Amino acid sequence: MREFLRRIACQCIIAMAVASALVTFAHAQGGNIQSITIYTVKPDRIGDFMAEIKAYNALLAKGGSTHYGSVWLSLTGPRT
């Protein structure tokens, strides 16, 4: 009987160690890039586009969002 309890206790300890290791690895993973969208803005609408980006960023800041994005503009060639 004592041997049986010892074996069950060892199995429980090993199972808890494996579970804690898996939880640690899952928690340490960072977020992945979900999507990339490329827009081409007409030259006469660049001001409107920039104003909407500022309004969108203000809305995210007001709402306390923890998900962030970035907007990149090309300095040469077409405005994409």
Please give the pLDDT value at position 20.
Answer: 67
41 touches 49 (CB < 8 A):
yes
Tell me if the pTM is above 0.95: no
3-state SS string over 2-37? Answer: HHHHHHHHHHHHHHHHHHHHHHHHHHHCCCCCCCCC
| Tens-digit pLDDT string for the chain (80 aa) | 777 777 777 777 877 777 666 665 555 556 676 777 887 888 888 889 889 888 988 888 888 877 767 777 777 776 65
